[in-house]
Amino acid sequence: MAEGGQALHPVHFASRMNRRSFITALGALGAALVARPTTANEVDFATWLKGVEQEALKRGLPRKVVDEALADLAPIARVLELDRRQPETTQTFQEYVGRVVTPARIETARARLDEHRETLSRVSGRYGVSPRFIVSLWAIETDFGRIAGNFPVIAALATLAYDGRRSAFFREELFNALKIAARGDIPVQEMRGSWAGAMGQSQFMPSSYLAYATDFDGDGRADIWNSRPDVFASIANYLSSVGWRNDETWGREVRLPQSFDRSLIDHTKVTRPLSAWQGLGVRRADGGDLPSREMPASLIQPAGPEGPSFLIYNNYRVLLRWNRSLYFATAVGFLADKIGDS
């Protein structure tokens, strides 16, 4: 449904036409909605793009780069289709973790850590992030770089910036992508990523690239598409820059006592030292005492009241800065635990 419009239920169409006519009409309606984005100003794409070009030049971006990047640009219908199909999560926590943290991925992750141990150790030494978390994020984001996306980033961002729903965010990311092109880190035609503009093996949005992408191999450019050292260092730099603590883990599964005050299960509002949770009867999953360290921690139940409970620490909140999903952050922690550093 276009924003601001009124949904027409398919049954209302079906009551007036036979099945074949209904399917044809519904398909045409869907194609029209995808082909014509709802824009904030209702101008045609060419006119809108001219405004982007003018603003890019005012921001000091080189005319040559702007002309090359915006030449022959057109909205990508598939990008809009994928954007509109984003559901609220339809998987349970157990289903998500079972799909993301598989035995095959754990085995591959251990092999990749061993393969790149020397580089990962140097990256860890510089940024203070354990190799197992670097590999875990790399694995979950792009399956070790195998699935990094093949959409032209500038065209995808232009499509979403022209669309009226989140235009301000994607318009700024479009200008950030043009800045990357102007720096010469990667040719425009090779700047490819997800349908939403996340780039490379670390899936950085352009703003994250500009802030955290790192040239670790010393070739003069931060190449998160092809250079494993740059990918690892960029992931570690991001985590370190937003508060990672290498002397802590992410959290742990715990057991709650009966009649536990459920109002305390709120990581956005409730933080207590581990000793306070111990005093409230919270124990490790095996029934043992919590660690004696005075670390601030919060409780979460990603699967709801019937699912497992976890005490989460500072590093979990850092993972939420990367992706604001309890499913995602917990899966990263699970996989990192399975990988180990040995």
- 10 Å Cβ neighbour count for 12? 9
Rounded Cα gap, residues 24 and 18, in angstroms: 10
| pTM recorded for the entire structure | 0.85
Of 216, 179, 209, 182, whose CA–CA distance to 193 is shortest? 209
Q: Which tens digits make up the pLDDT trace of 67-121?
A: 999 999 999 999 999 988 765 557 899 999 999 999 999 999 999 999 999 999 9
- pLDDT of 91 reads 86
For the record, the structure tokens of 65 come out as 């780069």
- pLDDT of 165 reads 82
Residue 165: partners with Cβ closer than 8 Å, 6 or more residues away = 3, 38
- pLDDT of 89 reads 56
Rounded Cα gap, residues 231 and 177, in angstroms: 18
- Amino acid symbol at 296: P
Residue 36 is inside which H or E element, if any? none
Fold classified for 46-81+148-217: Helicase, Ruva Protein; domain 3 (1.10.8)
- Region at 144 (left for phi over 0; alpha for psi -120 to 50; beta for the rest): left
- pLDDT of 88 reads 53
Q: Is 290 exposed, middle or buried (0-12, 13-18, 19+ CB in 10 A)?
A: buried
Q: Where are the beta strands (DSSP E) in the chain?
A: 151-152, 192-193, 251-255, 272-273, 283-284, 296-300, 309-312
Chain center to CA of 229 = 20
Q: Which residue has the tokens 């709120």?
A: 266
Helix runs in 163-251, H state only: 167-183, 206-212, 228-241
Hey, where are the domains in the chain? 9-38, 46-81+148-217, 251-339
Rounded Cα gap, residues 222 and 231, in angstroms: 8
Q: Which residue has the tokens 């040559």?
A: 64
Q: Which tens digits make up the pLDDT trace of 167-215?
A: 999 999 999 999 999 999 999 999 999 999 999 999 999 999 999 999 9
pLDDT classification of 38: cutoffs 50, 70, 90: very low
Q: What percent of the chain has pLDDT over 70?
A: 86
Q: Which tens digits make up the pLDDT trace of 124-173?
A: 999 999 999 999 999 999 999 999 999 999 999 999 999 978 899 999 99
pLDDT at 41 over 90: no
β 309-312/296-300 pair status? antiparallel
- Cα separations in angstroms, 32 against 27, 46, 62, 228: 9, 18, 36, 42
Q: Which tens digits make up the pLDDT trace of 296-335?
A: 999 999 999 999 999 999 999 999 999 999 999 999 999 9
